[in-house]
Amino acid sequence: MNSKFLIIGALLGICLALGVGIIIGHFAIRKTNTSISSKYAHLTRQADPHNYQTFISSVRAENIETDLRDLTSRPHIAGLPEDLESAQVIEERWKR
């Protein structure tokens, strides 16, 4: 009989602690007012025409072929000096 009350008391204590934790968590975490539609609108807004034209005019089939051949000629294993060299080449090309 004594162990039965101990088990019931432990279960009630666990339920009470869980309930208090849920209530504290509900009121302690602040909710933001950002809506999904505003995030979607930000991501799908029209591009700046000048930047778009600059990007489109810089894409050339010859450059793609040359860059692809150059970058795939080196090993792609992280930590190798050749991988660092490839990253530096890409960085330099993007800065041009």
Tell which residue, 38, 58, 42, 41, has the closest CA to residue 50: 58
DSSP codes joined into one string, 71-86: HHTS---TTSHHHHHH
Residue 52 lies in a domain: no
Residue 39 lies in a domain: no
Residue 47 lies in a domain: no
Residue 46 lies in a domain: no
Number of separate domains in the chain? 2
Residue 45 lies in a domain: no
Residue 96 lies in a domain: yes
Predicted structure pTM score = 0.39
Instruction: Please enumerate in sequence order all residues whose Cβ is within 8 A of that of 85, keeping only pairs 6 or more positions apart, or say none.
Output: 74
Tens digits of residue pLDDT in 64-74: 888 889 888 88
Residue 94 lies in a domain: yes
Write out the residue range of the structural domain in which residue 66 sits. 60-96
Read off the pLDDT of each residue in 9-22 and give the average, rounded to a whole number: 94
Residue 69: phi and psi, rounded to 5, are -65, -45
Residue 48 lies in a domain: no
Tens digits of residue pLDDT in 35-57: 677 777 878 888 888 988 988 88
